[in-house]
Chain A
Amino acid sequence: MNRIRLIFEKRGFACFVRHVELPQLFGRIARRAGLQVGLTQGMSPHPHIVMGPALPVGVVSQYETAEVWFESAGTPQEAVEKLNACAPTGFRFLKGAHIPADTMSLNKCFDAAKYWLCPRDESRLDAVQSALVEAFAPEVLPWTARVSDGIELVMLDPSQNGPGALVKALIERELIGGWPDVCIARLVLGRWKSEQKEIAPLL
């Protein structure tokens, strides 16, 4: 079995495709690409595909993760090319890497995610940044920065803390009315290096 870790982006209206649907989608992309996905063990075998931390509907991402166990897929780069030739609108595979079978599970390989956020009403940028810093402890939100087109921020433990919490905090503080009032994108997933104030990407 050839365990390949994939980095992909979810752009455009594809950000409205639910995370829970991605394993089936990836299985279909692989079949179209002529790549056979291995099956899980157990009573109900299903395609062996593991997704990274869930991304809420409506959040764009340029760095999502998945691992797929292929029966045989050639090199990771070949797999990426074949998958891209068969991916639906909005999905693009960026990188692939062979992962030894005994490597720790995907979701233990990162502890942080970096996001870009901008309210539709850009006059509220300062207020939004202040509100987020106030709403979340440094153990959850260790870093924020104003950039020319919005706010960049890092959230730790992305399986537990994600954009949903950000939006909820901003709604509670009446800075936005809901998801339509804010634009969020996930920029990268990886290990937080607190001294350098940066994330070491997964791949």
Chain B
Amino acid sequence: MRFEEFDDPRWPLIAGAKWPSRYAASEWGSIKPKEKADLRLCFCFPDVYEVGMSYLGFQLLYPRTKALDGIDAERAYCPWIDMEAMLRASLTPLGSVESGRALKDFDALGFTLQHEMSFTNILTMLDLGGVPQLASDRTDGDPIVLAGGPAALVPEPLADFIDIFCLGDGEAVNPPLLELLRQTKGKPRCERLRAAAELPGTYVPSVVSCEYDEAGVHFSSEFALPRRRVVCTDMDAIAPESMIVPASGIIHDRVAVELFRGCSRGCRFCQAGMIYRPVRERTAELVEDRIRALIRQTGWEECSLVSLASCDYPKIGELLNSLSSLHDEGIKVSLPSLRVDNFSVGLAAGLEVMKKGGLTLAPEAGSQHMRDVINKGVTDADLDAALEAAFAHGWQKVKLYFMMGLPGETDEDLSGIVELAERAASIGRRHTKRAQINVSVAGFVPKGHTPFQWVAQSTREELARKGAFMKRQIRSRAISFKYHESAQSFIEGVLARGDRRVGRAILEAWRLGERFDSWSETFSLDRWMQAFANTGVDPVWYAQRTRAENEAFPWDHIDAGVSKAFLLREYRRSQQAQTTPDCRGGSCNACGWEKKGCAWSGVSR
């Protein structure tokens, strides 16, 4: 045709898609594939493009991988269900954004496991890409399937599908692993996997067998167990120099620069706070330098200072001051996570972009008792001060996030959420007639590698009762109250603490049509329950039972860095509602990192 783009077989598919712009692949900053490469890796994000492009991890790893000698990287995203159907109907394999190369034609695929609800999408991508879903079905010519990210630290539900799990920071784990795969290309698959199993930060499930009994899961292997997570200690050395900017809007459409990795606050429900330890800070000068450079390189008009608790960055005030001149260039600065205190709200008040819309605070629990149980480290006084500051600075809408179904929770604790919301409304009314409090309460999902890995997840019925109980008590018309007794949380709970046997239920759910589990319009609890029934997997046993303190967990063979002894100690302290102070305040809590390079472990316990 006169316009050659119309000859591309993908064109009519995209033209018929519900949201064509997610397949446009019009980007600034992506690099053309190398003509010659010994090893071609495709980073695979198991969700749609606009979600995947908002993920900082691939933005960091993509240019670093492309810079490796003889190795090239491309990217692929999960097509939405309409595009999946069209790809199947037209027999078109899923390919990369950069070249359209089918996934089966890469040497390796690198999935990121950001959350459990993306697992079925991994199976979709493999299948559409022409790669056998089961690792045991792959032959020497098939790509090696890698997976990293937080869910790789509880890897067993995906053990049947993944060849090599990458444990820890990709900047540290990937280069030696990819170099090994490059050097061993052409050798028998099992030989390459065994070689990879020797490397730090890898877990190769095919060389680790497991047995089950009443005491739990028992792993055995000729390779050393547990497999240890690997971290980068020098954050300055891995600072990003470039980012890819899509022409179409994405979820997080801005420059993002990490202030630090890890968090020492010790919230007992928070998996990220446990598995990303130790805290590793980037120097403020470098952060500022990279933000300015990335704004020039990307053209983005907003930048975000990313971390698990940005207000904990020691030089946050100075950094924001030094970045204030960006305002004159039309650049907005934002903080993604605010601590619940006067200081943090004051910082946010100085940021134009944060003043738009509502201010979001996450007390997590309503009563002081429950906040002590979860070690949230926020007092009523902190909350009142933060709310006072928010309304004094001119916010009219405050969003408060809570959890229900926390261990040991009583109706009194739930009433505390209502009281806190009413108090927030009252504080707001003192400042403005338009004060609005939006309360959102989500069901708690216990996760592995946390002090609450032993606790039972609440049933949907119990969460529904708790939600209704709170909603009945709301009096103020200034409060909007929403709660979620989500069926999705139940499935997330099963997958989050599942063992290798859960994998067959994931595959069955996918075969029954399950896709995009984190999207309510595609998720189906009925399909999942059918999959569990068909495969003899009891989801309640995985999610809703209290586990014995001495139970051997299906993630015990993965050493995330925080010791099980510390987690147990914290679990027991939670039962006494005893708090544990932030170790950056002076005293080491001996979490497991004290002898492995934690910068704050110098002070004895």
Contact = CB atoms under 8 A, between A and B. Distances in A.
Interface of A: 11-18, 21, 24-25, 27-32, 34, 39, 47, 57-58, 60, 86-91, 116, 118, 120, 149-150, 178-181, 183, 185
List of 4 A-B pairs having minimum Cβ-Cβ separation, nearest first = A28-B299, A180-B12, A31-B299, A16-B24
B580 to A, nearest CB: 45
B16 interface: yes
Contact of A32 (B1, B23, B27, B298): B298
B21 interface: yes
Task: Please report whether the interface of chain A is mostly helix, strand, loop or mixed according to DSSP.
Answer: mixed
Interface stretch (B2-10, B197-205, B261-269, B498-506): B2-10
Contacts of A27: 299, 301
Contacts of B245: 28, 88
B307 to A, nearest CB: 25
A16 B6 contact: no
B17 to A, nearest CB: 8
Interface string B486-502: 00000000000000000
B21 A57 contact: yes
Given A11-B5, A17-B21, A90-B26, A28 B298 contact: yes
A93 to B, nearest CB: 14
Interface residues of B, number: 35
Interface in B290-310: 295-301
A30 B245 CA distance: 13
Interface string B9-50: 011111110001101111110100000000000000000000
A183 B7 CA distance: 10
Contact of B249 (A12, A24, A181): A24
B67 interface: no
A13 B14 contact: yes
B298 A13 contact: no
Nearest to A185: B3
15 contacts: A11-B3, A11-B5, A18-B248, A21-B21, A25-B247, A28-B28, A28-B301, A32-B296, A32-B297, A58-B20, A86-B28, A88-B26, A179-B15, A183-B3, A185-B3
A25 B28 CA distance: 10
B354 to A, nearest CB: 17
B186 interface: no
A32 B28 contact: yes
A32 B16 contact: no
B14 A16 contact: yes
Interface in B246-280: 246-249
A178 B28 CA distance: 31
A90 B30 CA distance: 13
Contact of A57 (B6, B12, B20): B20
B245 to A, nearest CB: 6
A89 B1 CA distance: 20
Contacts of B8: 13
B1 A180 contact: no
A28 B30 CA distance: 15
Nearest to A28: B299
B585 interface: no
A185 to B, nearest CB: 5
B14 to A, nearest CB: 6
B597 interface: no
A111 to B, nearest CB: 25
B247 A90 contact: yes
B5 A21 contact: no
A31 B295 contact: yes
Given A32-B28, A118-B6, 12 more contacts: A11-B3, A13-B23, A13-B25, A27-B299, A31-B300, A58-B20, A89-B26, A89-B28, A89-B30, A91-B26, A180-B15, A180-B16
B127 to A, nearest CB: 23
Nearest to A62: B3
A192 B24 CA distance: 32
A24 B26 CA distance: 14
B172 to A, nearest CB: 31
B25 A31 contact: no
B298 A14 contact: no
B247 A86 contact: no
Contacts of B20: 16, 57-58
Nearest to B13: A180
Contacts of B248: 17-18, 21
Contacts of A11: 3, 5
Contacts of B298: 28, 32
A24 B299 CA distance: 10
B1 A91 contact: no
A89 B299 contact: no
